[in-house]
Amino acid sequence: MSTQATTVDVRRGGDRFHTTTSWLDSHHSFSFGQHYDPADTHFGLLLVSNDDVVLPGTGFETHPHRDMEIVTWVLDGALVHQDSQGHSGVIYPGLAQRMTAGTGILHSEKNDSWRLTGEPEHRDSVHFVQMWVPPDTARLDPGYEQLEIADVDLRGRLAVVASGLERDRDRAAIRIEQRAASLQAARLDPGDTVQLPMAPFVHLYVARGAVDLEGSGRLDTGDAARVANADGQRVTAVDGPAEVLVWEMHALLR
């Protein structure tokens, strides 16, 4: 257990940077794109946490990335991924997906799954959270990995979605090239409780529903808590089901 005092910085969803276009509704937990605040660029190793809703038949056209580990978690709907390395797939709720940008990769992300399934009546918006952390090593070979996590493994517990921690080598759904970070997710019924990891930096994001964070009170959909020297605080779903995303980080971006 850390001898340093635990601090909790609660960030309300309504205070986030917000981008809206004809096809995209995006909330940014940190500075992103045209939105820049030098005092709010990251927490721990987490550089980007964007909560996006994309309308049917639209999406992010082909664009580049470099030297970043990008993890996507879909909440509702389905997202089609295609990249310059020849990877393609449909990302849906419960499917962990990681892209290593490395030396450079081009990719697109579109709400076009209905075109692939041949079911044109299924033209719904897709809602997902995309998160970026830097890799340990620059100029890695680009890569892609995805794996489904069973709903039972997410119910009432924190499941390891993507991790580079040595501890998680045999229990992470997918690996990331960052040995000091781990993403975990839980789907909670009312009254269910999970315990935050004990780590120098923990980022708790309420993807939907509402929770009570021990010692800090209620967090609603879109709210986040940046916990320094996390000491295993308890997170309990209140007033209905909730889904949370938790980054455990043992290093600070420099």
- Is 2 within the bounds of a domain? no
- Is 254 within the bounds of a domain? no
What does the CA dihedral 181, 185, 191, 193 come to, rounded to 10 degrees? -30
- Is 27 within the bounds of a domain? yes
Which domain range does residue 16 map to?
A: 7-249
Residue 123 near residue 57, CB atoms below 8 Å: yes
- Is 162 within the bounds of a domain? yes
What's the predicted TM-score (pTM) here? Answer: 0.95
Q: Give the pLDDT confidence score for residue 1 in this predicted structure.
A: 47
- Is 58 within the bounds of a domain? yes
Q: What are phi and psi of 41, to 5 degrees?
A: -105, -20
CATH number, domain at 53? Answer: 2.60.120.10
Q: Give the pLDDT confidence score for residue 173 in this predicted structure.
A: 84
Q: Give the pLDDT confidence score for residue 18 in this predicted structure.
A: 98
Please, what are the averages of pLDDT over each run of 10 residues along the chain (254 residues)? 84 98 98 97 98 95 97 95 92 95 96 66 85 96 95 97 94 93 98 98 98 98 98 97 98 90
Residue 6 near residue 27, CB atoms below 8 Å: no
Q: How many domains does the chain have?
A: 1
